Amino acid sequence: MRMVVGLDRPSAGAALVGGRRYAEFRHPLREVGALLDAKAVHPGRSARRHLLAMARSNGIAAGRVEEVLGLVGLEEVAGKRAGSFSLGMGQRLGIAGALLGDPGVLLFDEPVNGLDPDGVLWVRGLMRSLAAEGRTVFVSSHLMSEMQLTADRLVVIGKGRLIADAPVAEVIASSSRNAVRVRSPRAAELAARLEEVHGAVVRGGPAGGGAGRGGVEAVRVSAEELVVTGLPVDRVGWAAFEAGVPLLELREERASLEEAYMELTGTSVEYGAGVRA
């Protein structure tokens, strides 16, 4: 993100926005809005004066300042010094600065940091509404559970290399933690059917052994319960129907984005993730 706005220089290559370097824009805030450090505000300036200074330097009408103050909920404290703001209020001011030029590209680094639950919900709705307007919203966050509710696409970069760039739903679907949980008084018969038809490896019981076709596995958790991986829930249900096995429970268990992310990156602390709304 810092390379995009020209604060850091890449060791190779170039960061472009719409085919142009950030430094080439005459009025950059109209092209790219960024919240990278909510503390990057003169503590002695009021929120209004801070935004007015940004507006003047980018040819933005002063009236826009009042608009964004209202949008982020700071209109009642606009005259107070930014140095007295709480962490959450500082985040809101940073978001106001990013929105000031009404740009088509927005960069947010940890935008919900310091916000209360209502504030988190507001940021989530704001980012999705901005994306729905056709803007590019790029978000860096360590809160995978929040990003699962917000983002459309996940980008994972580790040690300077791209590890993943795919829709969030696709990343979650590819996780090995996805499974189908089945409960039946005849679970052993279903396990045998899955082994026969789908080549499943059956574990936790006498049946099974060897390698399953297509990575299908059925784990006998108890006498009445199986956990099946490598098959979608409808095919497990159909196998039970064909075998005449009654089902007490048939439930799909999906990995969380956090689980899928950890599976992608392992335990390395050198990895970071960004998500695009």
Q: Which domains does the chain have, with CATH numbers?
A: 22-140 (3.40.50.300), 179-253 (3.30.70)
The helix (H) or strand (E) run that includes residue 87 is helix 87-99
User: How high is the mean pLDDT of the chain?
Assistant: 88
Q: What are phi and psi of 219, to 5 degrees?
A: -105, 125
Using only C-alpha atoms, the chain has a radius of gyration, in whole angstroms, of 25
pLDDT in tens, 6-39: 899 888 888 999 999 999 998 899 999 999 988 8
Encoded tokens for 146: 């929040």
Q: How confident is the model at residue 211 (pLDDT cuts 50, 70, 90)?
A: very low
Q: For residues 139 and 273, is the Cβ–Cβ distance under 8 A?
A: no
What pLDDT score was predicted for residue 276? 59
Whole-model pTM: value is: 0.75
On the question of pLDDT at 130 being above 60, the answer is yes
- Compute the distance between CA of residue 211 and CA of residue 208 in angstroms, rounded to an integer: 9
